[in-house]
A and B are shown apart, each in its own frame.
Chain A
């Protein structure tokens, strides 16, 4: 047996302070009412740092700082100068990427190979990409002189903490807005390190403000009168509440919400790569991915061999210490999320689907869930309809391309879909009919800053990334 010895990434590359204040107007400040909460390492339940909890007065202070910076510095600044700051931030992120990757894995639980090879390169790429747009906005297709919106309130989730920050902050700043961003309460640390990077880059005070806290902080932020734009990524439930609170105001809104994507495997698929794509589609980032391919649709004629290959491949997945360079699946982000995954999985079993996981030993401390598939799932099962947001795959079958489209679209969500076939014409035929914001062909979970990303139906509205992503931050 080829046993891989432990290969842990050193955690000494990043210095975590014992406590963090709020980042307002270019400096770290204590919250008005002194409230704090703790951020823990989900792989060990060890407390990483004490984090300030922003109350309404703190949020107000942050929004005012952002407003002042917008009116006096960032708004009037020529695009080419804004670009210099963004390029500088992008370069610092690259220089400090190892530090950021380790911190992301510690705080989030994702394997270091993903934070190192996926998250951080994409974060830097996003800043580089939008830095390039900052002085070219007249050529983006939104008129000769598109104007920024003002102050953007941004609330981001815990699954890709720094990457979602980049998706939000880079286009906002490139377009000339200033931002107040609230990271998720379980994963605030990389956002706070990003605040230090803003200081290092000499970004003018108030252009980026980071307020930490939970749902109440987020509500205070999106409901604040001084905000011109709200951008939210997270659950459909919270998205609905935000849409209601923003309705009737001048605020512009973009929402990127849940998903229940179909990953469709035809009988002429390149099987070995399709199996990789299935695994990547649902087990990447522990399945904490809004666009995860959580519904596998296999053409009945190849159902058994594909399933057999999938199980064989799953048996090779390495679950464990997120900082080990050979770990494929890390920790579930929080106890609450683990409960939800367990609850929905139990419902799957109770509703009669057959549950299977490869043999794997899970660590005793921390939040863990073995990679799991359910077979014998039908459209009527709750695990085929509700977003589980964990390493749990529901396997369904279909007979014809039309049936595949029908089943794939039969969901309130519409964020992404995957097609596996060697037939180019079928890919185009399917992509025309799938009601999903992203359709991947013979690949899955591929991201690029130049490509717009966003949902149909209850997966939200507005697009992030690419030229389209600028529109959300311009007065057009």
Chain B
């Protein structure tokens, strides 16, 4: 409903042509009242999800995990182990679904690809000089192409926050367009790094900017700055994808990343998806969790629901 004056698809595709029209559009989006948005997110967090609903939500959340390792210390061995876990998160229970994707640095893509080949687990790679994005555009696109060539079918790029915060929206837009082109058939997730954007108004504008430029997913964070995904930020992004679909007919996914560690938190996000954008987004194709430690908590809670007893963390694999 946001794009009340531009409900026509062709209108929106024109927006990126000039700095002025892009700015006018982004600054014409309705504002976000901080108090109200935080209150709404907190209210959704009080939903009580029990028994069958909880079991359903846990399995869905597992399927939505982008199992991630993004460390300087990553090695082929570590990435192979992680990929194996992605395929069979709970070796003791074959009914446990596989995760949505494995997410690694470009140099680690070949090792993950070896393990994941032939499976339905996607392979995502952070490209474009992750996490800062402070590299020349040519380097970013080369980074992207290399990751895709090595077998990644999803690219998580970072936006140029410096350009965004200084109001050079067209520069941000053009970069996303270039990276999208470099992706080829791979899906593009655009990381807004909301912790650096600071205000919800900026989050809404950056969300629209990323969608207008062709992003397939919008993602909150790199996980490398102190403030990562929060419920209100995710709420604002969900409202943006909802309104974008109303305006253009194109559906865009959302991925909160960083700081989501418990089943309880994950379920709160699923409730938010359910009550903000509805069932169309309750699918790994349209909603993901960028997380590493979340998976084991989901597995523990899943086992608890099935068996009625908590088993210790030693019963779940650490990779």
Residue numbers of A with Cβ under 8 A of B are: 1-7, 113, 117, 268-273, 276-277, 302, 304-306, 308-309, 316, 325-326, 422, 442-443
A6, B57: Cα distance in complex, Å: 15
Hey, which chain B residues are within 8 Å of A316, CB to CB?
Answer: 275
Are A270 and B279 interface neighbours, CB within 8 A? no
Q: Could you mark each residue 149-183 of chain B with 1 if its beta carbon is under 8 Å from any beta carbon of chain A, else 0?
A: 00000000000000000000000000000000000
Are A305 and B4 interface neighbours, CB within 8 A? yes
Hey, which chain A residues are within 8 Å of B49, CB to CB?
Answer: 4-5, 7
A325, B53: Cα distance in complex, Å: 14
Are A326 and B52 interface neighbours, CB within 8 A? no
Instruction: Tell yes or no: B35 within 8 A of A by CB.
Output: yes
Size category of the B interface is 20 to 34
Q: Could you mark each residue 13-52 of chain B with 1 if its beta carbon is under 8 Å from any beta carbon of chain A, else 0?
A: 0000000000000000011110111011000001111111
A2, B31: Cα distance in complex, Å: 30
| A270 and B31 in contact, given A276-B36, A305-B1, A325-B48 (Cβ under 8 angstroms) | yes
Are A5 and B282 interface neighbours, CB within 8 A? no
Contact of B30 among A270, A442, A443 (CB under 8 A): A270
Are B37 and A272 interface neighbours, CB within 8 A? yes
A268, B32: Cα distance in complex, Å: 11
Hey, which chain B residues are within 8 Å of A113, CB to CB?
Answer: 46
Show 19 A/B contacts (Cβ-Cβ < 8 Å), sorted by A: A2-B53, A2-B279, A3-B56, A5-B50, A5-B51, A5-B53, A7-B49, A113-B46, A272-B30, A272-B32, A273-B33, A276-B36, A304-B4, A305-B4, A316-B275, A325-B47, A326-B48, A422-B33, A442-B36
Are B275 and A273 interface neighbours, CB within 8 A? no
A306, B30: Cα distance in complex, Å: 12
Give the top 7 A-B pairs by smallest Cβ distance, nearest first: A273-B36, A7-B48, A325-B48, A270-B33, A273-B33, A5-B53, A305-B1
Are A3 and B53 interface neighbours, CB within 8 A? yes
Hey, which chain B residues are within 8 Å of A272, CB to CB?
Answer: 30, 32, 36-37, 40, 239
Identify which of B30, B52, B54 gathers the most chain A CB atoms within 10 Å of its CB: B30
Are B54 and A5 interface neighbours, CB within 8 A? yes
Hey, which chain B residues are within 8 Å of A276, CB to CB?
Answer: 36, 39-40
Instruction: Tell yes or no: B2 within 8 A of A by CB.
Output: yes
Contact of B2 among A5, A268, A271 (CB under 8 A): A271
A326, B57: Cα distance in complex, Å: 16
Hey, which chain B residues are within 8 Å of A308, CB to CB?
Answer: 1
Hey, which chain B residues are within 8 Å of A7, CB to CB?
Answer: 48-50
A442, B49: Cα distance in complex, Å: 30
Are B32 and A273 interface neighbours, CB within 8 A? yes
Q: Would you give the shortest CB distance from A6 to chain B, in whole angstroms?
A: 8
Hey, which chain A residues are within 8 Å of B239, CB to CB?
Answer: 272
A440, B46: Cα distance in complex, Å: 25
What residue in chain A is nearest B35 (Cβ atoms)?
A443
Hey, which chain B residues are within 8 Å of A270, CB to CB?
Answer: 30-33, 36
A130, B271: Cα distance in complex, Å: 39
Instruction: Tell yes or no: B311 within 8 A of A by CB.
Output: no
Instruction: Tell yes or no: B270 within 8 A of A by CB.
Output: yes
Instruction: Tell yes or no: B274 within 8 A of A by CB.
Output: yes
Q: Would you give the shortest CB distance from B222 to chain A, in whole angstroms?
A: 26
A442, B50: Cα distance in complex, Å: 34
Q: Could you mark each residue 47-84 of chain B with 1 if its beta carbon is under 8 Å from any beta carbon of chain A, else 0?
A: 11111111011000000000000000000000000000
Q: Would you give the shortest CB distance from A444 to chain B, in whole angstroms?
A: 10
Are B36 and A271 interface neighbours, CB within 8 A? no
Hey, which chain B residues are within 8 Å of A306, CB to CB?
Answer: 1
A302, B30: Cα distance in complex, Å: 11
A302, B50: Cα distance in complex, Å: 39
A7, B270: Cα distance in complex, Å: 17
Are B46 and A5 interface neighbours, CB within 8 A? no
Identify which of B56, B57, B279 gathers the most chain A CB atoms within 10 Å of its CB: B56
Q: Would you give the shortest CB distance from A331 to chain B, in whole angstroms?
A: 19
A187, B250: Cα distance in complex, Å: 51
Hey, which chain A residues are within 8 Å of B32, CB to CB?
Answer: 270, 272-273
Q: Would you give the shortest CB distance from A269 to chain B, in whole angstroms?
A: 7
Hey, which chain B residues are within 8 Å of A422, CB to CB?
Answer: 31, 33
Are A443 and B47 interface neighbours, CB within 8 A? no
A325, B44: Cα distance in complex, Å: 12
What residue in chain A is nearest B39 (Cβ atoms)?
A276
Identify which of A272, A302, A325 gathers the most chain B CB atoms within 10 Å of its CB: A272
A147, B35: Cα distance in complex, Å: 41
Are A2 and B33 interface neighbours, CB within 8 A? no
A272, B239: Cα distance in complex, Å: 8
What residue in chain B is nearest A325 (Cβ atoms)?
B48
Q: Would you give the shortest CB distance from B147 to chain A, in whole angstroms?
A: 33
Q: Would you give the shortest CB distance from A397 to chain B, in whole angstroms?
A: 15
A306, B37: Cα distance in complex, Å: 17
A265, B52: Cα distance in complex, Å: 40
Hey, which chain A residues are within 8 Å of B270, CB to CB?
Answer: 2
Q: Could you mark each residue 266-279 of chain B with 1 if its beta carbon is under 8 Å from any beta carbon of chain A, else 0?
A: 00001100110001
Are A268 and B53 interface neighbours, CB within 8 A? no
Identify which of A113, A305, A308, A325 gathers the most chain B CB atoms within 10 Å of its CB: A305
What residue in chain A is nearest B204 (Cβ atoms)?
A272
* Given A2-B282, A276-B40, 13 new contacts (CB under 8 A): A2-B279, A113-B46, A269-B30, A273-B33, A276-B36, A306-B1, A308-B1, A316-B275, A325-B46, A325-B47, A326-B47, A422-B33, A442-B33
Q: Would you give the shortest CB distance from A181 to chain B, in whole angstroms?
A: 31
Are B4 and A302 interface neighbours, CB within 8 A? yes
Are A268 and B31 interface neighbours, CB within 8 A? yes
A444, B220: Cα distance in complex, Å: 30
A304, B271: Cα distance in complex, Å: 27
Contact of A2 among B1, B35, B40, B274 (CB under 8 A): B274
Hey, which chain B residues are within 8 Å of A1, CB to CB?
Answer: 279
What residue in chain B is nearest A307 (Cβ atoms)?
B1
Hey, which chain A residues are within 8 Å of B57, CB to CB?
Answer: 2
Identify which of A4, A268, A302, A309 gathers the most chain B CB atoms within 10 Å of its CB: A4
A325, B31: Cα distance in complex, Å: 31
A8, B266: Cα distance in complex, Å: 22
Q: Would you give the shortest CB distance from A26 to chain B, in whole angstroms?
A: 38
What residue in chain B is nearest A444 (Cβ atoms)?
B36
Hey, which chain A residues are within 8 Å of B1, CB to CB?
Answer: 271, 305-306, 308-309
Are A273 and B37 interface neighbours, CB within 8 A? yes
Hey, which chain A residues are within 8 Å of B46, CB to CB?
Answer: 113, 117, 325
A3, B270: Cα distance in complex, Å: 12
Q: Would you give the shortest CB distance from B258 to chain A, in whole angstroms?
A: 24
A443, B40: Cα distance in complex, Å: 11
Hey, which chain A residues are within 8 Å of B50, CB to CB?
Answer: 5-7
Residues 274-300 of B at the A interface (beta carbon under 8 Å) = 274-275, 279, 282
